[in-house]
Amino acid sequence: MRTLNSQALTEIATKLGTEPVTIIEIDWIENGAQAIYADRLVGTIPGKIHSVSNLDNVINVSDSGSSQEIGVTLDDTDGTIKAILDTNDIHKRSARVYQWFEGLDIDDRFMLFAGKISSPIHWSERDRTVSFSIISQLEDKEIGFSAEEGDFDWIPKNLIGVAWPMIFGTCQDVPALQFNDAVSGTTLCPISSIIGEDYHDAVPLGGADPSWGINLGMQGMQKSMLWCAKAAFDSAAIQNHLSNPEKAAEYEARAAEALENINEINKSITSSMAQKAAQELCATTQRSSTLNDAKGHGCNPVTILGGEDFPQNQAINLQIGSSIVPGYFVGDKFYFSGVRNADKEAKAAARYSSSVSHQCEQPATGQPYDFSMDVPCGFGNTFPQPYSCRCRFSGHFIPTSTHKSRPNTDAVAEHIWIDSGSRVTVYSDENITYLVSIIPGTVLAVKAYKTFEGGERHLVNVPNNLWWPKTMTMARFQLHKSWFGNH
């Protein structure tokens, strides 16, 4: 608002015989002295104003903005203004247009218009004049920000063009803009996986009867007794070789018989162990084959329609129905390492527990043994020596396990199949990123809607340990979603 003194008001009210003088102040050089020009010589103010156009006012209805413009032509016969133009950029330099009446003090001039010099600026060599416009509004910048395609490579498409929040002062319950967990896709091929594989492999193979180990031990004791008898017959044969050749021949035959029995026992032990190893290998191979066949019917990586919108080349958990699939995206291809499903994992665990508990249905007891053979006196291992006439090994085998095991039915693992065409989203346990405000501030509290029994929804405070704020400076749009507050 202009404030005029009484002398100026009197001059303005005079309808005839007045000749107002136009005065212009220009800041040619930033932080420099002001240059003052008038349309005729006024004291020390040079009369360099050649012409001043009418004042134009432009209103932009759509943007609710306006600008005022006035054209000025200055006389530059002495070249002083041209010298300024040659060494300075006068675009956006401040300028003020005043009106003054002769007879008044120069300080009583009043401002008509204030603005900044705008391009283009013309200097006429022939006329020795400088022409330019002064406008009150050079640029109109919209407040706020919204992302456009190409600004970011990680913002979901449905957030393109959405205004980012701005908070002034202390506000309550202002909605935040959610950045992630907003993308979704569709599987273009099925997913096949096994759940409870560890449980499946941990179940005993079956047939682990403690009597098998006891039998091996008893055969070993029987071999020890036969080795004792062979040694006794061999020694007796040597002792009677000269004095009683017929007796020596009988002892040699008995020693050979004992060695033959030892070899038969060795064959039996080798055959038994080989049979058990073959059974275990067969069961293990069958288990692996069953699991591999179940896994092989799906695809990995799986092609996701819209997968390029998900975070790329980083670990991520996808929600597909009731299953959680961990992996990473490369373009629209999702490479996964397995599938998690709480219901099927519980079933596999229950079957494992049931299978292990069933291994204890048939208790196994220990078994005594007593192997002996008469040998020539003085060569056995019974006491007192040297009057021994018998090789004897006796005792009692106690099994390392007191229970027999049943064969496994291969029904512990759970197979899961996800059809193509299934909807894919980011798993809800991932950190969710929200943009609070593009104006720096302090987050005092975070609230979220909670649904109570009966379907009522209320806004409740989120515990402080479930969210954290972070403030970052936006520079050249090099943003990352972790720069914003999370909860």
Going residue by residue through the chain, which has 487 residues, state the pLDDT in tens, using 9 for 90 and above.
Answer: 456 566 655 655 565 556 788 899 999 887 777 899 998 888 889 989 988 887 555 444 444 455 688 889 999 999 999 998 888 888 888 899 988 888 788 888 888 888 899 888 898 988 899 999 988 854 556 677 777 766 666 566 677 778 888 888 888 888 888 776 557 899 998 988 777 666 666 666 655 556 677 788 889 999 999 999 999 999 999 999 888 999 999 999 999 999 999 999 999 988 888 887 777 777 677 666 666 655 556 788 999 998 988 889 999 999 888 888 999 999 999 999 888 888 877 777 777 666 654 444 455 567 888 899 999 888 877 765 555 788 989 888 876 655 455 545 455 767 788 888 899 988 865 567 788 888 888 888 899 888 888 888 888 998 988 888 887 665 433 333 333 344 3
Same domain? For 313 and 338 the reply is: yes
Q: How far apart are CA 331 and CA 340, in angstroms?
A: 23
Tokens of 186: 């569709």
The last residue of one of the domains, among 404, 426, 448, is 426
According to DSSP H, which parts of 20-111 are helical?
A: 80-87
pLDDT at 182: 57
Q: How far apart are CA 97 and CA 350, in angstroms?
A: 90
Tokens of 109: 């001039």
Indicate the average pLDDT of the chain: 78
Residue 395: partners with Cβ closer than 8 Å, 6 or more residues away: 221, 368, 369
Same domain? For 449 and 416 the reply is: no
Same domain? For 420 and 454 the reply is: no
At residue 129, φ and ψ (nearest 5 deg) are -130, 160
AA identity, residue 91: H
CA dist 327 → 339, 376, 381, 427, 459 (Å) = 10, 77, 69, 12, 34
- DSSP class of residue 441? -
pLDDT at 227: 93
Structural domain span for residue 89: 6-135
Same domain? For 309 and 335 the reply is: yes
- Residue 233 is inside which H or E element, if any? helix 210-239
Task: Assess if residue 217 is contained within a domain.
Answer: yes
Listed residue (62, 50, 58, 63) closest to 115, CA to CA: 58
Tokens of 129: 């004049």
Task: Assess if residue 379 is contained within a domain.
Answer: yes
Calculate the CA dihedral of residues 318, 319, 324, 326 and round it to 10 degrees: 0
Same domain? For 149 and 131 the reply is: no
Same domain? For 335 and 458 the reply is: no
Q: What tens digit of pLDDT does each residue of 266-280 get?
A: 999 888 888 877 777
pLDDT at 418: 87
Same domain? For 109 and 205 the reply is: no
pLDDT at 429: 59
Cis status of the peptide bond prior to 384, with omega within 30 of 0: yes
pLDDT at 481: 37
Q: How far apart are CA 413 and CA 272, in angstroms?
A: 31
Domains of the chain: total: 3
Same domain? For 105 and 151 the reply is: no
AA identity, residue 256: A
pLDDT at 136: 81
Tokens of 463: 């515990």
- DSSP class of residue 32? S
pLDDT at 1: 44
Q: How far apart are CA 485 and CA 466, in angstroms?
A: 11
The last residue of one of the domains, among 69, 103, 135, is 135
pTM: 0.38
Task: Assess if residue 54 is contained within a domain.
Answer: yes
Q: What tens digit of pLDDT does each residue of 293-311 get?
A: 555 567 889 999 989 888 8
pLDDT at 152: 64
> Contact, 378 vs 390, CB < 8 A?
no
Same domain? For 421 and 279 the reply is: yes
- Spell out a b/e string for 103-113, using b for 16 or more CB atoms within 10 Å of the CB, else e: ebeeeebbebb
Same domain? For 121 and 235 the reply is: no
Beta-ladder partners of 416: 193
Same domain? For 45 and 131 the reply is: yes
> Contact, 358 vs 403, CB < 8 A?
no
Same domain? For 407 and 466 the reply is: no
Q: How far apart are CA 221 and CA 219, in angstroms?
A: 5
Residue with tokens 């096994």: 194
At residue 208, φ and ψ (nearest 5 deg) are -80, 65
Task: Assess if residue 1 is contained within a domain.
Answer: no
Q: How far apart are CA 426 and CA 311, in angstroms?
A: 10
pLDDT at 231: 92
The last residue of one of the domains, among 374, 407, 426, is 426
